[in-house]
Amino acid sequence: MKIPHRNFNPSRREFLRQLSLGSAAVAAGFGFPNILSAEVAARKPLGVALLGLGNYATNNLAPALRETKLCRLAGVVSGHPEKIVKWQKNFSLSEKNCYSYENFDRIADNHDIDIVYVVTPNTLHRDFVVRAAKAGKHVITEKPMGGTVADADTMIAACHAAKVKLSVGYRLHFDPYVKEMMRLQREKDFGDFMKLTGNFSFTFGKHAWRVEKKLSGGGPLMDVGVYVIQAACMAAGATPIAATAHEEPKERPDFFLDVEEAISFKLEFPNGAVLDAKTSYNDNMNTFRAEGAKGWIEFVNNAFSYRIGEVQTSKGALNFPVVNQQALQMDDFADCLLTGRESEVSGEMGRRDMKIIEAIYRSAQTGKRVII
């Protein structure tokens, strides 16, 4: 029997009421902003297997799974046997729930694992998502969804054929500050957000797979620029219709051999709203601003970070509880499986963003405005 799910679409007053409830829930270990029904919360947590045990899985997802209420770390998949041994010890994992990339398909017979979270380099997402789907497991794939739109299409089709759900690791959708920006967009407190600006950049140090196009699919646009794209779509409440972009000259061409070092781009939305954005591997910026005719919201610093920094609006500063974005993200997906609803950060959303990214790259290559 399906469990009824309360949609979260509050007015401002209801938002603040839910926020106060959410604060208590966070303190008690529950997620924000959905207030879980007793029946859902009482269910046995769903088992999650992390596929790819790099920095993000180790430093962010594993700790988050200690805080989740609807799911738990049940297994791991890695190409490094020594990592598996370490994770078995640190998380008391059963040997039968630990897999190599070679024997991963045997996970189909493992009833302890309901969800596979793919945390590999970008261009490897497709094949592992397809294999997980064929094994009958629901899937979360890290962002960006893949290396190309074609990858996204393949993943969506595989999950549809296997009748499993697919979600993308867009953690910021579950942060209260971002939820408030989406509420402002819906309820038009500041009017339509027409002028959007964003920059997510950091200085890349030592060599890593993110600067190898065969693994990353691209440079900072794929890695962190996608967050600016996401924020713009949320603030506009729409999908852009055109992109204009140019790649900035490389200051370290010997390091960024086959990916961009920095790229500036503009996105146009159907109602005339415009995003002006930049993303770089040779700068340090982390900001986003959305302006309407009646007001504005600005993420002054750490706009896209695991803990969002100062957020100001034309009516004053926002001050919401600190949350674990990844824990909320994974619990929300578990709630989708328990209630039968679709993920708000779906494979279709991941595909949309890949399409936008491809249009930006095409514009940068051709010097022309590209219709999305």
CATH number at residue 295: 3.30.360.10
206 or 191, which is more confident: 191
pLDDT for 43 equals 73
Q: Is the domain of 154 the same as that of 179?
A: no
Could you say which of 141, 171, 201 is where a domain stops? 171
31 or 325, which is more confident: 325
pLDDT value at 221 more than 70? yes
Look at phi and psi of residue 217 and say left if phi exceeds 0, alpha if psi is from -120 to 50, else beta.
Answer: left
pLDDT value at 329 more than 90? yes
pLDDT for 4 equals 31
Q: Is 1 within the bounds of a domain?
A: no
Cα 91 to Cα 21, 98, 132, 198, distances in angstroms: 31, 12, 22, 39
Q: Where are the alpha helices (DSSP H) in the chain?
A: 12-28, 38-42, 55-56, 62-64, 81-91, 125-134, 149-162, 176-187, 213-216, 220, 226-236, 325-339, 347-366
pLDDT value at 27 more than 80? no
Q: Is the domain of 102 the same as that of 201?
A: no
Q: Is 331 within the bounds of a domain?
A: no
Q: Rounded to an integer, what distance in angstroms lies between the CA atom of residue 334 and that of residue 327?
A: 11
pLDDT value at 30 more than 50? no
Q: Which domain holds residue 243?
A: 175-321+349-371
Q: Rounded mean pLDDT of 117-127? A: 98
- Based on the structure, what is the number of domains in the chain? 2
Could you say which of 171, 190, 218 is where a domain stops? 171
Q: Is the domain of 360 the same as that of 293?
A: yes
pLDDT band, very low/low/confident/very high, at 40 (cuts 50, 70, 90) = low
Q: Is the domain of 162 the same as that of 275?
A: no
Query: What is the share, in percent, of the chain residues with pLDDT greater than 90?
Result: 87
pLDDT for 37 equals 53
Q: Is the domain of 68 the same as that of 209?
A: no
pLDDT value at 286 more than 50? yes
pLDDT band, very low/low/confident/very high, at 170 (cuts 50, 70, 90) = very high
What's the chain's average pLDDT? 91
Q: Is the domain of 28 the same as that of 130?
A: yes
Q: Is the domain of 148 the same as that of 190?
A: no
- The CATH number given to whatever domain includes residue 149 is 3.40.50.720
Q: Is 328 within the bounds of a domain?
A: no
Q: Is the domain of 302 the same as that of 358?
A: yes
pLDDT band, very low/low/confident/very high, at 160 (cuts 50, 70, 90) = very high
Could you say which of 171, 202, 220 is where a domain stops? 171
pLDDT value at 3 more than 90? no
Q: Rounded mean pLDDT of 28-38? A: 43
pLDDT for 281 equals 98
